[in-house]
Amino acid sequence: MPELRYNIATGDWTIFATERAKRPHDFIKPKETKLLPEYQENCPFCPGNESKSPIELFRIGDQAKWRVRCVPNLFGALSPKENLQRKISDIYISMGGFGQHEVIIENPKHNTCIALMNEPEVQDIIRAYKSRYLALRGIPGIETVIIFKNHGTGAGTSLEHPHSQVIAVPVITPQTKTRAVIAEDFYEKNGQCVYCRMVEEELKLKTRVVLETEHFVSFIPFASVMPFITWICPKRHCSSFGSIEEAEIVDLARNLRTVLQKLYYGLSNPDFNYTIRSYRAKDSGEEYLHWELCVIPRLTTPAGFELGTAMFVNTALPEESAEFLRKVSCS
């Protein structure tokens, strides 16, 4: 029978269409393997081609042998040169396109991805995330910093070389605002952070847990809106990604890499997005806010019902999907 499930952290209702439910292996979409070179002459992100990208903002490693680089996005969605002044015309509000849009080049190799990197390489990526997060959230006028990755053309990437992006905006995004209101309401009623409560429950039940490491737990939410969506949540209550500690960086690298390996080997390297959802520096002491990293495999396409209602139909049960990923060997 079909079932509706409610996500207590996001306010989303999801329809689980059991009549047309798919088994986890049904989501495997074999791809034509495209062999890429380790270095590509016309790639602006490959070593030796640094002059083809904007002036470097940040680097891990020395100039001759860098491991991670950060540069402004050449075609940035926002610009630090724009102003913050709001314009009001009757009922309409606008403002200058102020903000920052950066690219984090994850690795010198053109033909790799996080699932195939070693743990120290993934640790460097997360250290770069933290460094740019702290730098951007300190800019006057910036309210939200979003770190995200697009993997594959179906997820919106246009360059093959492994990279992530960071966008800093002068507003609180609608999703951030909605989740904060829900989290505050849950805390007032229950005296506990909703994410801490979810982590506690998932670790007790185990059925939707994909991976547990020392500082993080990865699980497919009870009311996940799409197949195989995985949340990676810190066990330590913390609202801001900028507060991640070195031991947690090491552990997050292990957890994230393993989750992406399970998707890579278990679902034939699907296109995916991931994003780090965090809160403002001024909110860092709040007892009801909690940051997390969300991995979203692009296995289905939202259709008219989803676009018209913001309510999703999921054909994959979280419990079955989590069990499938747990059994995927990464060796």
- Show which residues are catalytic: 163
Closest by Cα among 120, 119, 117 to 163: 117
How far is the C-alpha of 129 from the C-alpha of 131, rounded, in Å?
6
How far is the C-alpha of 155 from the C-alpha of 150, rounded, in Å?
5
How far is the C-alpha of 119 from the C-alpha of 109, rounded, in Å?
15
Cite the beta strand spans of the chain per DSSP E: 3-6, 13-16, 58-61, 66-72, 86-89, 92-95, 100-105, 144-151, 163-169, 209-212, 216-219, 230-234, 272-277, 292-297, 312-314
How far is the C-alpha of 303 from the C-alpha of 177, rounded, in Å?
25
How far is the C-alpha of 29 from the C-alpha of 11, rounded, in Å?
31
173 within 8 A of 278, measured Cβ to Cβ: no
